[in-house]
């Protein structure tokens, strides 16, 4: 029989250690008292079962009275506390004072005789037993126990019917330890002869209180420091579990969203149709994408900022929390700034566009000036720019080189700058109508590197470094060849930037089909044969498909130019 009491004590002690490990400062103090007193009470039953003599049994029996004198009243106070029913401070003081008086009468029973008028000790089946005749104080003790039990039941029924902000699950859980303890206290020995079931009931009560303590982290949002700030400040707070059951909200949130007053704790938010366009929509957006955790909400003349995050109990995410702050003044200020910025942006855009146009015209003017020194008939920079545009359009449509729209715009804009370096070439060389000598060709080849240097100086400090890079590469490398036989660096294959490879085709094609002072324009078919022969040697063979697609448009363009000049 003593094994039963031993197990009850060991299990209750283990549950108390679990409670200590999960203890949080906002746990109800009455629950903490239960976890302290139950192992002490069960220890009393363990020692009582092993008592060998009357005096020992009577002394140890006093420990078991801790359960009756204090635990049932404390369970009642726990019910009132967790159901948010306020009691006069004198009620718990008077109740615990009465419990203490009864307990002291029991401790000093031998002197007073008011608890037991007679006590007989015997051992039955190896277990100590006291056969007692009760005195008047014990009657008061029973009356106190019944009063605590009835008050607990009444508080739970009242909360279930009238208090929507108290969890129904919590009420169910609170009901169990009160009823189990009461039944086992008065009927335990009648159910199992010679064994008190009260220790087992107290141990089961601890298990239930562990569950209650675990859920308190969800329901009590006003005891922690941060929640106190939310509860009393200008920020509304709503808490919901992972199943989208409503857990609670503060007064500020209810003032902003009065429909929260119609929600019942532990019931789905979706049960209230008014929540679908607000709370439920915000939570569903956060569930789909945690980055989508903010929103704006208008109610009347006010604009509120909504922020959704996880509800954290100190160890784990337990649900969702919604913060609601009045953002009206900030939004008005932002709207004012937006209006001002939009006007400022428009003015800046106009000024910038004007400056960019001047800059582009300056570059184009320099390129035209350089071109006028050459032996071409004019228009080379305009024609090559169009050739580059037609080629990049085909490349971009295919997507193989992943050329962005911005890259293509920059390349077309940079094309007129490809021969700027010729400004540094002597006229005698630049304007020579015949074939260059080796010395003259070396001087001519210098225009590529010199062009890159000039472009760098012109665009130095620009706010568009990508355009600067493309323009420098076009000027520097448009005479490089795929097989490495070009100049000025002798780059080979993919070492040549893609912008320079495209520029090379447009540049050579224009030189072939355009009339110069020293040659006539070449027929399109003959020019095409030369371009095709150069694929894989002079030009990047990967660009062949795009050249072929652009060829009809190139020929149409140059035909139109020839017709206009005729």
The whole-number pLDDT of residue 150 equals: 93
pLDDT at residue 377 greater than cutoff 50:
no
26-39 b/e with 16+ CB inside 10 Å = b? bbbebbbbbbebbb
Q: How far is CA 72 from CA 34, 145, 178, 296, in A?
A: 9, 7, 7, 50
Residue 305 contacts residue 294 (beta carbons within 8 Å): yes
The whole-number pLDDT of residue 472 equals: 92
pLDDT at residue 313 greater than cutoff 50:
yes
The dihedral formed by the CA atoms of 156, 157, 161 and 165, expressed in degrees to the nearest 10: 0
**DSSP conformation letters of 351-396:** HHHHHHHHHHHHHHHHHHHHHHTSSB-S-HHHHHHHHHHHHHHHHH
Residue 505 contacts residue 386 (beta carbons within 8 Å): no
The whole-number pLDDT of residue 476 equals: 93
- Which residue, 405, 388, 394, 360, is CA-closest to 499? 388
pLDDT at residue 305 greater than cutoff 80:
yes
Alpha-carbon distance 125 to 116, whole Å? 24
Q: How far is CA 32 from CA 26, 78, 158, 212, in A?
A: 11, 10, 25, 12
Q: Which two tokens stand for residue 73?
A: 């009243």
Domain range 225-326, CATH architecture: 2-Layer Sandwich (3.30)
pLDDT at residue 292 greater than cutoff 50:
yes
CATH number of the domain at 354-565, please?
A: 1.10.3210.10
Alpha-carbon distance 81 to 30, whole Å? 8
Domain 2-219 fold is Rhopdopsin 7-helix transmembrane proteins (1.20.1070)
| N residues, the chain | 566
The whole-number pLDDT of residue 114 equals: 77
Give the chain's mean pLDDT: 83
Q: Which two tokens stand for residue 225?
A: 């420091």
Q: Is the peptide bond before 488 cis (omega within 30 degrees of 0)?
A: yes
The whole-number pLDDT of residue 126 equals: 67
The whole-number pLDDT of residue 492 equals: 93
pLDDT at residue 130 greater than cutoff 50:
yes
The whole-number pLDDT of residue 357 equals: 59
**DSSP conformation letters of 26-62:** TS-HHHHHHHHHHHHHHHHHHHHHT--SHHHHHHHHH
pLDDT-derived band at 401, boundaries 50, 70, 90: confident
Name the percent of the chain lying above pLDDT 70. 85
Q: How far apart are the first and last CA of the chain?
A: 123
Q: Which two tokens stand for residue 416?
A: 């007129």
Residue with tokens 């000036």: 369
pLDDT at residue 455 greater than cutoff 50:
yes
Collapse the DSSP code of 119 into the 3-class scheme (helix H, G, I; strand E, B; otherwise coil) and give the result: strand
pLDDT-derived band at 484, boundaries 50, 70, 90: very high
Domain span(s) for CATH 3.30.450.20 in the chain: 225-326
The whole-number pLDDT of residue 51 equals: 78
**DSSP conformation letters of 221-275:** -SSSHHHHHHHHSS-EEEEEETT-BEEEE-HHHHHH-GGGGG--TTSBGGGSGGG
**DSSP conformational letter for 296:** E
Q: Averaged over 533-552, what is the pLDDT?
A: 94
pLDDT at residue 362 greater than cutoff 80:
no
Domain span(s) for CATH 1.10.3210.10 in the chain: 354-565
Q: Averaged over 147-171, what is the pLDDT?
A: 89
Q: Averaged over 373-379, what is the pLDDT?
A: 55
Q: Averaged over 79-92, what is the pLDDT?
A: 88
Q: Which two tokens stand for residue 545?
A: 């498909």
The whole-number pLDDT of residue 17 equals: 92
Domain span(s) for CATH 1.20.1070.10 in the chain: 2-219
pLDDT at residue 131 greater than cutoff 80:
no
Alpha-carbon distance 201 to 184, whole Å? 6
Collapse the DSSP code of 288 into the 3-class scheme (helix H, G, I; strand E, B; otherwise coil) and give the result: helix
Alpha-carbon distance 406 to 409, whole Å? 5
Q: Averaged over 90-114, what is the pLDDT?
A: 80
Bigger pLDDT: 205 or 519? Answer: 205
Q: Averaged over 527-546, what is the pLDDT?
A: 93
pLDDT at residue 338 greater than cutoff 50:
yes
The distance from CA 389 to its chain's CA centroid, rounded to whole angstroms, is: 45
Collapse the DSSP code of 518 into the 3-class scheme (helix H, G, I; strand E, B; otherwise coil) and give the result: coil
The whole-number pLDDT of residue 332 equals: 67
pLDDT-derived band at 217, boundaries 50, 70, 90: low
Q: Which of 117-126, 161-170, 276-285 has the highest mean pLDDT?
A: 276-285
Residue 269 contacts residue 263 (beta carbons within 8 Å): yes
pLDDT at residue 489 greater than cutoff 60:
yes
The whole-number pLDDT of residue 564 equals: 78
Residue 278 contacts residue 271 (beta carbons within 8 Å): no
Q: Averaged over 440-464, what is the pLDDT?
A: 84
Q: Which of 103-117, 185-199, 290-304 has the highest mean pLDDT?
A: 290-304
């Amino acid at each position: 029989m003593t094994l039963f009491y031993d197990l009850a004590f060991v299990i209750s002690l283990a549950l108390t250690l679990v409670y200590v490990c999960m203890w949080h400062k906002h746990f109800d103090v009455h629950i903490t008292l239960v976890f302290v007193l139950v192992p002490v009470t069960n220890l009393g039953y363990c020692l009582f079962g092993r008592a060998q003599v009357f005096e020992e049994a009577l002394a140890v029996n006093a420990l078991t009275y801790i359960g009756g004198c204090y635990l049932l009243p404390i369970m009642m106070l726990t019910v009132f506390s967790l159901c948010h029913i306020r009691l006069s401070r004198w009620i718990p003081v008077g109740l615990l004072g009465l419990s203490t008086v009864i307990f002291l009468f029991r401790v000093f029973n031998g002197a007073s005789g008011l608890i037991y008028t007679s006590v007989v000790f015997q051992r039955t089946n190896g277990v100590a037993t006291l056969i007692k005749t009760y005195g008047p104080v014990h009657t008061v003790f029973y009356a106190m126990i019944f009063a605590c039990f009835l008050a607990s039941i009444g508080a739970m029924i009242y909360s279930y019917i009238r208090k929507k902000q108290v969890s129904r699950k919590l009420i169910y859980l609170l009901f169990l330890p009160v009823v189990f303890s009461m039944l086992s206290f008065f009927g335990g020995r009648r159910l199992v002869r010679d064994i008190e079931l009260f220790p087992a009931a107290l141990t089961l009560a601890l298990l239930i209180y562990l569950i209650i303590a675990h859920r308190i982290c969800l329901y009590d949002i006003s005891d922690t420091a941060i929640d106190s700030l939310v509860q009393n400040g200008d920020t509304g707070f709503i808490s919901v579990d992972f199943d989208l059951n409503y857990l609670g909200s503060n007064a500020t949130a209810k003032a902003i969203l009065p429909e929260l007053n119609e929600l019942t704790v532990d019931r789905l938010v979706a049960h209230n149709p008014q929540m679908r366009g607000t709370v439920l929509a915000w939570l569903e957006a956060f569930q789909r994408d945690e980055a989508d955790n903010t929103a704006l909400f208008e109610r009347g003349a006010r604009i509120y900022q909504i922020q959704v995050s996880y509800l954290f109990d100190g160890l784990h995410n337990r649900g969702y929390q919604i913060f609601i702050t009045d953002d009206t003044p900030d939004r008005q200020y932002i709207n004012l700034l937006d209006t001002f910025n939009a006007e400022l942006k428009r003015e800046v855009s106009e000024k910038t566009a004007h400056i960019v146009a001047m800059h582009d015209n300056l570059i184009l003017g320099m390129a035209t000036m350089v071109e006028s020194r050459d032996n071409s008939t004019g228009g080379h920079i305009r024609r090559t720019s169009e050739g580059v545009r037609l080629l990049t359009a085909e490349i971009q449509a295919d997507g193989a080189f992943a050329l962005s729209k911005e890259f293509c715009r920059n390349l077309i804009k940079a094309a007129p700058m490809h021969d700027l370096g010729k400004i540094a070439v002597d006229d005698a060389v630049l304007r020579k109508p015949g074939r260059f000598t080796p010395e003259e060709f070396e001087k001519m080849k210098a225009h590529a590197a010199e062009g890159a240097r000039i472009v760098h100086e012109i665009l130095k400090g620009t706010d568009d470094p990508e355009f600067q890079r493309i323009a420098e590469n076009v000027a520097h490398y448009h005479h490089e060849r795929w097989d490495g036989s070009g100049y000025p660096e002798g780059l080979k294959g993919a070492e040549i930037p893609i912008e320079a490879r495209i520029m090379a085709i447009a540049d050579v094609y224009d030189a072939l089909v355009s009339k110069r002072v020293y040659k006539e324009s070449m027929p399109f078919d003959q020019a095409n044969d030369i371009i095709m022969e150069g694929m894989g040697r002079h030009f990047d063979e990967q660009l062949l498909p795009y050249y072929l697609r652009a060829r009809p448009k190139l020929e149409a363009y140059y035909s139109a130019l020839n017709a206009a000049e005729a």
